[in-house]
Amino acid sequence: MNYKAIDSQDIEFLISVCGKGRVFVGEEINEDFAHDELGGIEKLPEVMVEAISTEEVSKIMKYAFDHHIPVTPRGQGTGLVGGSVAIHGGIMLNLTKMNKIVELDEENLTLTVEPGVLLMEISKFVEAHDLFYPPDPGEKSATIAGNINTNAGGMRAVKYGVTRDYVRGLEIVLPNGDVMEVGGKIVKNSSGYSLKDMIVGSEGTLAIVTKAVLKLLPLPKKAISLLIPFPDLAMAIETVPKIIKSKTIPTAVEFMERAAILAAEEFLGMKFPDKSSDAYLLLTFDGNSKEEIESAYDKVAHICLDSGALDVLISNTQERQESIWKARGAFLEAIKASTTEMDECDVVVPRNKVADFIKYTHELQEQFNVRIKSFGHAGDGNLHVYVLRDERTEEAWKKILGDVFECMYGRARELGGQVSGEHGIGYAKRPFLIESMGNNGMELLKNIKLAFDPKNILNPGKVC
Amino acid sequence: MNYKAIDSQDIEFLISVCGKGRVFVGEEINEDFAHDELGGIEKLPEVMVEAISTEEVSKIMKYAFDHHIPVTPRGQGTGLVGGSVAIHGGIMLNLTKMNKIVELDEENLTLTVEPGVLLMEISKFVEAHDLFYPPDPGEKSATIAGNINTNAGGMRAVKYGVTRDYVRGLEIVLPNGDVMEVGGKIVKNSSGYSLKDMIVGSEGTLAIVTKAVLKLLPLPKKAISLLIPFPDLAMAIETVPKIIKSKTIPTAVEFMERAAILAAEEFLGMKFPDKSSDAYLLLTFDGNSKEEIESAYDKVAHICLDSGALDVLISNTQERQESIWKARGAFLEAIKASTTEMDECDVVVPRNKVADFIKYTHELQEQFNVRIKSFGHAGDGNLHVYVLRDERTEEAWKKILGDVFECMYGRARELGGQVSGEHGIGYAKRPFLIESMGNNGMELLKNIKLAFDPKNILNPGKVC
């Protein structure tokens, strides 16, 4: 693709829109902006601009559109697939300064926010009003627009669904600079193709989210976590479809292995309540009465014990729950700290195929003699599997990673799964999306992209 | 648009695919296929074909694509905006014979169905397995693919969301005949643009749904309805945002006026439990324990009484609940039977704007001296407003309907609402979608349409 290189006139224009203090060129750009959380895909933008209003975003996009300059929107850069890396250079549009909570509407149960508000700020804000924003991805310092653009799911998807289900409306800036509102504070909508749902999960390739209207729920009054040790991981995971079949829906069902727990303990410098077993299920139940929750977890506890669980540890204090969930939140960082480099696979499979898939990753570990660590959302079939480089040479690492990924994504397809449950496709996962969708499917995605972005200037090289 | 007219060769091809018994030409086509439930938009297809397999649908689409013949997919024809009328003639693809329930998967809580399965068959089937398909539009004899194509919402959207939220995966046939699967039995998905969500609500203009994987929930063990009389409608509706604000989420909140109740009584030949008041709220609560439900409705009953309700009638017997909900389900038919012709407005507004909007329809009734009847989903802001022709001449009716609709849709926009909450745009509501989206927005919709259907042969003239 032939994009226009940034020149001094472009910089002048950007300064005329945003002022000198929010336009960064060349060495003024922090190296962090060359990659995302996982790293591996590296490229600095030619210029990085911090926008603070929809109007600025619109002006910049119109200019970039007219001059054929690529634009990469960016939040906190916590992604794992290179979605926010400016692989074609050009302008990086940093939206983290658009970080105001605009309005809480308690009569419509909506929260209107700017794109750069952090997930942890949203939960803190709404919980203070006895309200609840259910999506709960592990990375709490991600921006809401990042979550919207990957359709992040998180722990509570089992009961509450994913980010898509909590986006009622969006203000977006199209690649040509047009500002548009899609959806709104409304509960239903059948008014033409759902542009809102097209933007959710589009990884910043179709439009830039400049405002979001989120759906809230009343905050459940009580929550309880169960930590359930099993003799081995297969036994733990095979219990999950039985739980689902029992017609009890927990809020979250995570699985974890001792190795991940030990790594998290070391990383956090804090103790996990139990690490005597090889494998654990971690479940949460929430609701409005103690009775309601107790009757649910009592049933599930019996199912687990009948399926070979060694014990059922109930965490009903805030403190104990926090120590468990904090460890769970640190798995990614902890595994990352235990090796030289790693890459991730975020497939999603039907819930009753999780055990099959994890067993297969263990086979691959043996077959390729490579460390593979996993944890994830057993309750919704979304796995986070990490392949560790350790002391391999660059060449050996590329080879083994390619082979292992080819096997894993192939198996996920066989099991009726998809390439990504919540991290997205970005730059890194495109080959696997092509294998999954086929050429005709990719052609359709590309045509949709062109419907929004006929000059292919918005986050080019990502998704399709 | 210049489409090829159907000739004997086309008929021969269709017979070669489906056999003679499922291909209907000219006078063999029942007049019912010229219009939908509401009528007003009339046109017979040149040929009507009953498909019974995905393979047949694929072959027919490929042929139609190659020969530039328009195809109108059709379910039970219960739509209200002309979406299933073959306004350009050509082939009508009747999918009602693809009506098998394919699989219940209790480990993944999914139900796989063919497109022509009726909504009432789904609820009956899953409830026998102690499971629950929450979407509950009034028209139970609609097909599931019709519900998916309009993203129907129904009564329970307040608590459970709309059809979109219960579609996990689809098998679709694209306009060129390609068969594709989007989504699946998976709970999360961030693998490229959500084609599944593009198809949901696309009114048969982007692809033909030939199979759907639906999400199920455990069946709530108990439900209770409250019928709450108010001295007037404004007072009833103004209570709803207070209920939402109280952090209690009922399953359904409907509003109704005495006139609608009387019409339904006459239409059904059965008695409604109470008709002493001018206006009513009808609420349902569901859950797994009596205590849980009681604590919720007790709070809401007090809010209603504090807001001027005259009484709170609790329906905890199956029989009584059925008599109320049956009346609610008959409102559309009853109003239709009370006049010569009518047209409908299905706007959705933020929940705290419903009272404003209904007050405005009363003003329009006075101003234009025309009967306007409404009922609808107070809990989710989706209104069903009917303008009645009565004894007007054709000319006077067209004039007054145009004027009244112009006012109503204009006011909905001012209130932050959208053209349709659940009936869709079809043919009838396109002018209002254009006013709502603007030319740039419509251009975007058209480009998306062309990405799927470059020859514009699938249900042309609808939505955009």
Pair of tokens at residue A114: 């700017």
Determine the Cα angle at A331 with ends A329 and A333, to 5°: 95
Residue B297 exposure: Cα atoms within 13 Å on the Cβ side: 28
Q: Determine, for residues A248 and B218 on separate chains, whether the beta-carbon distance falls below 8 Å.
A: yes
Q: List the one residue out of A195, A99, A108 whose CA is nearest residue A143.
A: A99
What residues of B are in contact with residue A206 (Cβ under 8 Å)? Answer: 193
Q: At A337, which amino acid appears?
A: A
DSSP A364-432: HHHHHT--EEEEEETTTTEEEEEEE-TT--HHHHHHHHHHHHHHHHHHHHHTT-BS-SSS--TTTTHHH
Sign (positive or negative) of CA dihedral B81, B83, B86, B87:
positive
Distance between CA atoms of A381 and B108, rounded to whole angstroms? Answer: 10
Is B40 an 8 Å CB contact of chain A?
no
Beta-carbon contacts of residue A257 (< 8 Å; ≥ 6 apart): A233, A278, A279, A280, A373, A374, A375
B372 neighbors B408 (Cβ within 8 angstroms): no
Q: Which of residues 176-195 of B touch A (CB under 8 A)?
A: 178, 180, 183-195
Q: List the one residue out of B400, B377, B396 whose CA is nearest residue B387.
A: B400
Determine the Cα angle at A420 with ends A206 and A73, to 5°: 30
Q: List the one residue out of A208, A218, A268 whose CA is nearest residue A457.
A: A208
Count of C-beta atoms within a 10 Å radius of residue B151: 29
DSSP B180-239: EEEE-S-S---SSS-HHHHHTTSTTSS-EEEEEEEE-EEPPSEEEEEEEEESSHHHHHHH
User: What are the CA-CA distances from residue B284 to residues B163, B253, B379 (Å)?
Assistant: 19, 7, 11
Determine the Cα angle at B395 with ends B393 and B397, to 5°: 70
Chain B nearest-CA residue for A158: B187
Of B191, B348, B420, which is closest to A433 when you measure between CB atoms?
B191
Q: Where are the beta strands (DSSP E) in B317-459?
A: 342-345, 372-377, 382-388
User: What are the CA-CA distances from residue B314 to residues B271, B304, B307, B317 (Å)?
Assistant: 17, 13, 18, 9
Q: Across chain B, how many H-helices and E-strands are there?
A: 14, 18
Query: Is the domain covering B222-332 a CATH 3.10.20.30 domain?
Result: no
User: What are the CA-CA distances from residue B215 to residues A136, A245, B199 (Å)?
Assistant: 21, 13, 16
CATH code that applies to domain B8-97: 3.30.43.10
Determine the Cα angle at B393 with ends B392 and B397, to 5°: 65
A121 neighbors A75 (Cβ within 8 angstroms): no
Q: At A128, which amino acid appears?
A: A
Please give the DSSP secondary-structure letter assigned to residue A165. Answer: G
pLDDT over 90 for what percent of chain A? 88
Distance between CA atoms of A98 and A53, rounded to whole angstroms? Answer: 7
Of B188, B348, B417, which is closest to A157 when you measure between CB atoms?
B188
Distance between CA atoms of A246 and B405, rounded to whole angstroms? Answer: 50
Task: For chain B, 464 residues long, give each residue's pLDDT as a single digit of tens.
Answer: 689 999 999 999 999 999 999 999 999 999 999 999 988 899 999 999 999 999 999 999 999 999 999 999 999 999 999 999 999 999 999 999 999 999 999 999 999 999 999 999 999 999 999 999 999 998 999 999 999 999 999 999 999 999 999 999 999 999 999 999 999 999 999 999 999 999 999 999 999 999 999 999 999 999 999 999 999 999 999 999 999 999 999 999 999 988 888 888 888 888 888 888 999 999 999 998 888 899 899 999 999 999 999 999 998 788 888 888 888 888 888 999 999 999 999 999 999 999 999 999 999 999 999 999 998 899 999 999 999 999 999 999 999 999 999 999 999 999 999 999 999 999 999 999 999 999 999 999 999 999 999 999 999 999 99
| Rounded mean pLDDT, A178-182 | 97
Of B180, B245, B379, which is closest to A441 when you measure between CB atoms?
B180
Q: A115-121 — which CB contacts under 8 Å span 24+ positions?
A: A115/A75, A115/A143, A115/A144, A115/A145, A115/A148, A115/A208, A115/A209, A115/A210, A115/A211, A115/A212, A116/A75, A116/A143, A116/A144, A116/A145, A117/A143, A117/A144, A118/A76, A118/A142, A118/A143, A118/A144, A119/A143, A119/A144, A119/A147
Q: How far is CA B439 from the centre of its chain?
A: 26
Q: Determine, for residues B351 and A291 on separate chains, whether the beta-carbon distance falls below 8 Å.
A: no
Which region, left, alpha or beta, applies to residue B220 given φ > 0 means left and ψ of -120 to 50 means alpha? beta
Place of tokens 């048969």: B204
Distance between CA atoms of A53 and A146, rounded to whole angstroms? Answer: 17
Q: Determine, for residues A106 and B188 on separate chains, whether the beta-carbon distance falls below 8 Å.
A: no
Residue B213 exposure: Cα atoms within 13 Å on the Cβ side: 20
Q: Which of residues 333-372 of B touch A (CB under 8 A)?
A: 346, 348-352
Pair of tokens at residue A187: 């509960």
What residues of B are in contact with residue A160 (Cβ under 8 Å)? Answer: none
Give the tens place of pLDDT for each residue, A236-252: 999 999 999 999 999 99
pLDDT of residue A291: 84
User: What are the CA-CA distances from residue A168 to residues A130, A135, A376 (Å)?
Assistant: 20, 14, 27
Is B155 an 8 Å CB contact of chain A?
no
Place of tokens 């250079």: A89
Q: Which of residues 45-74 of A touch B (CB under 8 A)?
A: none
Of A197, A289, A464, which is closest to B292 when you measure between CB atoms?
A289
Pair of tokens at residue B398: 């067209």
Residue B98 exposure: Cα atoms within 13 Å on the Cβ side: 29
Q: Which of A112, A191, A430 to mutate to test the interface with B (most CBs of B within 10 A)?
A: A191
Pair of tokens at residue B237: 């509706």
pLDDT of residue B1: 66
Place of tokens 């209770």: B224
What residues of B are in contact with residue A247 (Cβ under 8 Å)? Answer: 130-131, 218-219
pLDDT of residue A76: 98
Q: List the one residue out of B346, B418, B447, B426 whose CA is nearest residue A183.
A: B418
Beta-carbon contacts of residue A108 (< 8 Å; ≥ 6 apart): A185, B241, B244, B350, B351, B352
Q: Determine, for residues A180 and B440 on separate chains, whether the beta-carbon distance falls below 8 Å.
A: yes
CA distance A331 to chain B (A): 20
pLDDT of residue B259: 84
Q: List the one residue out of B138, B432, B402, B197 whose CA is nearest residue A198.
A: B197
- Which has the minimum average pLDDT: A3-17, A132-146, B330-344? B330-344
Give the tens place of pLDDT for each residue, A207-223: 999 999 999 999 999 99
**Do A101-218 and A339-432 share a fold?**
no
User: What are the CA-CA distances from residue B293 to residues A436, B222, B351, B423 (Å)?
Assistant: 45, 8, 23, 31
Place of tokens 């070669």: B16
Domain ranges of chain A: 8-97, 101-218, 222-332, 339-432
Please give the DSSP secondary-structure letter assigned to residue B336. Answer: H
Sheet holding B382-388, edge to edge: B313-315, B222-230, B279-287, B252-257, B372-377, B382-388, B342-345
What residues of B are in contact with residue A418 (Cβ under 8 Å)? Answer: 183-184, 186, 189, 191
Please give the CATH architecture assigned to the domain spanning B339-432: 2-Layer Sandwich (3.30)
Q: Which of residues 271-290 of A touch B (CB under 8 A)?
A: 288-289
Q: Across chain A, how many H-helices and E-strands are there?
A: 14, 18
Buried b (16+ CB within 10 A) or exposed e, A381-390: bbbbbbbbbe
The continuous run of DSSP H or E covering B25 comes out as: strand B23-25
Distance between CA atoms of A18 and A48, rounded to whole angstroms? Answer: 11
pLDDT band (50, 70, 90) for residue A326:
confident
Please give the DSSP secondary-structure letter assigned to residue A273. Answer: S
Q: Which of residues 431-450 of A touch B (CB under 8 A)?
A: 433, 436-437, 440-441, 444-445, 447-450
A173 neighbors A61 (Cβ within 8 angstroms): yes
What residues of A are in contact with residue B185 (Cβ under 8 Å)? Answer: 350-351, 416
Pair of tokens at residue B394: 């054709």
pLDDT of residue B273: 85
What residues of B are in contact with residue A463 (Cβ under 8 Å)? Answer: 192-193
Q: Determine, for residues B193 and A178 on separate chains, whether the beta-carbon distance falls below 8 Å.
A: no
ipTM: 0.96
Q: Determine, for residues B187 and A158 on separate chains, whether the beta-carbon distance falls below 8 Å.
A: yes
Pair of tokens at residue A346: 């975020």
Is A423 an 8 Å CB contact of chain B?
yes
Beta-carbon contacts of residue A412 (< 8 Å; ≥ 6 apart): A347, A348, A349, A357, A418, A419
Residue A464, pLDDT above cutoff 90: yes
Q: How far is CA A346 from the centre of its chain?
A: 9
Q: Which of A193, A377, A429, A453 to mutate to test the interface with B (most CBs of B within 10 A)?
A: A193
Q: Which fold has domain B101-218?
A: 3.30.465
What residues of B are in contact with residue A444 (Cβ under 8 Å)? Answer: 174, 195, 451-452
Residue A128 exposure: Cα atoms within 13 Å on the Cβ side: 6
Q: How many CB pairs under 8 A join A and B?
A: 270
Beta-carbon contacts of residue B306 (< 8 Å; ≥ 6 apart): none
B209 neighbors B112 (Cβ within 8 angstroms): no
Distance between CA atoms of A71 and A458, rounded to whole angstroms? Answer: 5
